Amino acid sequence: MVRRGYEAFGAGDMDTLRGLFAEDAVWHLGGSGGLSGDKQGLDAILAYFGELFTRSDGTIKVDLDDLIGGEKHTIGFQRVHAQRNGAAIDQRTVIVFALKDGKVSEVYEFPEDTAKAADFWS
């Protein structure tokens, strides 16, 4: 399921993503940047994804390096590439997906360099 989510994100397929998350899911992103904080609910999570595409003028690309999965949690090791305002980011990120009733219920995103990510996306 999480792998399907990565594929859908890469294709900009918000309809598929909508079906993978619980309606009351929460996405946590630490730091102090413009996109940091908790995204409460499916619509807020999808809006966050939309912001990533908008702020990067569609250049964001996420390469999935590996997944480690269990029944309750899956961990994604990824690399994020994007360009914005003449700057570029190429950074590793770890994402922990909590799974419940066949859907993603909670997500914790951990960029390699939180300050660099916050500066880039703000």
Q: Listing from the earlier edge strand, what are the strands of the sheet with 103-111? A: 37-40, 21-29, 103-111, 87-100, 73-84, 61-69
For the record, the structure tokens of 49 come out as 């994804």
| CB hemisphere CA count around 46 (13 angstroms) | 17
9-66 pLDDT tens trace: 999 999 999 999 999 999 999 888 889 999 999 999 999 999 999 999 999 999 999 9
- Our count of domains for the chain comes to 1
Percent of the chain at pLDDT > 70 equals: 100
E strand intervals along the chain: 21-29, 37-40, 61-69, 73-84, 87-100, 103-111
pLDDT of residue 68: 97
Q: What is the DSSP letter of 101?
A: T
Q: The domain that contains 32 carries what CATH number?
A: 3.10.450.50
Map tokens 């799974």 to a residue.
99
Note whether 75 and 94 are within 8 A (CB): yes
Range of the domain at 10: 2-121
**pTM recorded for the entire structure:** 0.93
